[in-house]
């Protein structure tokens, strides 16, 4: 039999055997976990096997991802510029629409400059890896997103983690870090799984006392916190003290892609050295146009943000009254912890019985023991949608 045969009995490496034997992948296949593919969508409703489900796990906080004006802007850009940027920003990929969106975002965030990437993941990876290197120290909240962790590891800097949202622990960690080393503090504005708000004024104070550069990932704070949804730094009035704000277009900005906003010199440094910035193709025309239109609507129509918070307050009160564990979320990103993997799995199934879809999240996406159903509130939810959500959660909670 030739060595390249695909027939059974052909050569199979030990690595391949380990991959095939993986427990979680087997479990996933057995129970058809995750990677759910919906057949159709209209607004915040999706269809699975001809059943209509209300989407309770999208990060479309302002409800603009299906707005006709956003879809039209994306379509028009596609017709004007084509389907792809076909190259990196540093070479042939830069277009006027990139520069315009960067200027608008920088101004909105109160920063001098901005750079956009084709994914929020890339923006976070680039922010966490570009500014520090060997010999430097990164101080990081344990619960930050995977994109930041990957960037932190790529940077080759020493890593000092502190307990989630715990300024005392950060002080403690800093007490044994060499004061002469260059330091970067990495936190999120709104934590994506927990929905916790970061105590930014405390981080700013500690950072100024210990000469730390601050990187803030505000993927879930942008569009949600602060006046006009300018983000968590604006909410606390500390935007001038945050060196770099990165984020994503896949939440409030109804698109895909990501941004990094900072002083011009910091952005130009990133453009010179960041591998993710130099060696990856620029954001496509339709995605940039969708984000630009969503930003314009976000600025001009405050009713979306108001409705988001009205829905969020109603939902958090409802979960509190039902005595469900929502990890004390303070924002529209709301986990429901139901105590174990199987319970979470059946909670998700029971939500679907009542026409609601929400994500099942298990380790390694969350720490062991924190299996959860990750829900997210949107401005697009009507009072009837909220009724349906509450009915479904009450039903799922009974079966716990």
Enter the DSSP assignment of 283: P
Q: Which residue is nearest to ligand PLP (CB)?
A: 120
Min CB(148)–ligand PLP separation in Å: 7
How many degrees, rounded to 5, is the angle at CA 228 between CA 191 and CA 194? Answer: 10
Q: How far apart (Å, rounded) are the C-alpha atoms in residues 273 and 129? A: 10
In the bound state with ligand PLP, the residue whose beta carbon lies nearer, of 119 and 212, is 119
Residues 6 or more apart in contact with residue 214 via CB below 8 angstroms: 184, 185, 187, 203, 204, 207, 241, 242, 243, 244
Strand segments (E) across the chain: 40-42, 45-48, 51-55, 113-117, 137-141, 158-162, 183-188, 212-217, 244-248, 258-262, 333-337, 356-357, 359-361, 372-376
Q: Which of 61, 121, 213, 259 is in the footprint of ligand PLP by CB under 6 A?
A: 121
Residue 60 touching ligand PLP (CB under 6 A): no
Piece of 14-22, 118-126, 196-204, 358-366 that binds ligand PLP (CB under 6 A): 118-126
Q: Count residues contacting ligand PLP (CB under 6 A)? A: 15
Query: Between residue 234 and residue 293, which ones bind ligand PLP under the rule CB under 6 A?
Result: 248, 250, 256, 258
In the bound state with ligand PLP, the residue whose beta carbon lies nearer, of 11 and 38, is 38
Alpha helices in 8-67 (DSSP H): 14-20, 23-31
SS3 label, residue 135: coil
Backbone CA torsion sign across 138, 139, 142, 143: negative
Residue 188 touching ligand PLP (CB under 6 A): yes
Piece of 71-79, 99-107, 117-125, 265-273 that binds ligand PLP (CB under 6 A): 117-125
In the bound state with ligand PLP, the residue whose beta carbon lies nearer, of 250 and 311, is 250
Structure tokens at 42: 């209209």
In the bound state with ligand PLP, the residue whose beta carbon lies nearer, of 308 and 396, is 308
- β-pairing, 51-55 vs 356-357, is parallel
Piece of 201-209, 216-224, 293-301, 323-331 that binds ligand PLP (CB under 6 A): 216-224
Piece of 15-23, 160-168, 212-220, 368-376 that binds ligand PLP (CB under 6 A): 212-220
Residues 6 or more apart in contact with residue 25 via CB below 8 angstroms: 19
Please name every residue paired with 55 in a beta bridge, in sequence order, or none if there are none: 357
Residue 381 touching ligand PLP (CB under 6 A): no
Piece of 9-17, 114-122, 133-141, 168-176 that binds ligand PLP (CB under 6 A): 114-122
Give which of 126, 155, 138 is closest to 259, Cα–Cα.
Answer: 126
Residues 6 or more apart in contact with residue 213 via CB below 8 angstroms: 131, 132, 182, 183, 184, 185, 207, 243, 244
Structure tokens at 206: 């500690």
Q: Which of 74, 119, 288, 393 is in the footprint of ligand PLP by CB under 6 A?
A: 119
In the bound state with ligand PLP, the residue whose beta carbon lies nearer, of 215 and 305, is 215
Query: Between residue 135 and residue 164, which ones bind ligand PLP under the rule CB under 6 A?
Result: 145, 147
Piece of 81-89, 159-167, 217-225, 322-330 that binds ligand PLP (CB under 6 A): 217-225
In the bound state with ligand PLP, the residue whose beta carbon lies nearer, of 44 and 248, is 248
Binding site for ligand PLP (CB under 6 A): 119-121, 124, 145, 147, 188, 192, 217, 219-220, 248, 250, 256, 258
């Amino acid at each position: 039999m030739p060595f390249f045969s695909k027939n059974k009995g052909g050569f199979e490496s030990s690595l391949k055997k380990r991959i095939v034997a993986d427990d979680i992948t087997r479990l996933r296949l057995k129970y058809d976990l995750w990677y759910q593919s919906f057949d159709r969508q209209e607004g915040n409703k999706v269809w699975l096997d001809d059943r209509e489900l209300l989407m309770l796990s999208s990060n479309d906080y302002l409800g603009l991802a299906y707005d006709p004006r956003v879809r039209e802007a994306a379509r028009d850009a596609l017709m004007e510029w084509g389907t792809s940027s076909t190259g990196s920003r540093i070479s042939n990929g830069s277009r006027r629409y990139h520069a315009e969106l960067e200027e608008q975002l920088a101004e909105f965030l109160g920063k001098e400059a901005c750079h956009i990437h084709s994914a929020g993941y890339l923006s976070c990876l680039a922010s966490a890896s570009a500014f520090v290197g060997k010999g430097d120290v990164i101080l990081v909240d344990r619960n930050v997103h995977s994109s930041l962790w990957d960037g932190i590891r790529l940077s080759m800097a020493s890593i000092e983690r502190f307990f989630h949202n715990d300024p005392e622990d950060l002080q403690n960690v800093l007490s044994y870090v060499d004061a002469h080393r260059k330091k970067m503090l990495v936190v999120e504005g709104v934590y994506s799984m927990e929905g916790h708000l970061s105590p930014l004024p405390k981080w700013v104070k500690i950072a100024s006392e210990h000469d730390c550069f601050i990187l803030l990932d505000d993927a879930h704070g942008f569009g949600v916190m602060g006046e006009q949804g300018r983000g968590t730094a604006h909410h606390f009035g500390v935007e001038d003290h945050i060196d770099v704000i990165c984020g994503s277009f896949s939440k409030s900005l109804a698109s895909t892609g990501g941004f990094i906003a900072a002083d011009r010199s910091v952005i130009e440094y990133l453009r010179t050295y960041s591998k993710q910035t130099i060696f990856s193709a620029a954001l496509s025309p339709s995605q940039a146009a969708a984000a630009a239109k969503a930003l314009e609507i976000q600025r001009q129509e405050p009713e979306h943000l108001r409705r988001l918070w009205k829905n969020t307050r109603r939902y958090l009160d409802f979960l509190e009254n039902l005595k469900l564990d929502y990890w004390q979320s303070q924002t529209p990103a709301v986990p429901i912890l139901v105590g174990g993997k199987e319970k979470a799995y059946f909670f998700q199934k029971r939500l679907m019985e009542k026409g609601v879809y929400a994500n099942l999240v298990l380790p390694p996406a969350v720490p062991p023991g924190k299996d959860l159903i990750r829900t997210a509130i949107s401005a697009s939810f009507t009072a009837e949608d909220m009724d349906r959500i509450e009915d479904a959660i009450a039903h799922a909670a009974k079966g716990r």
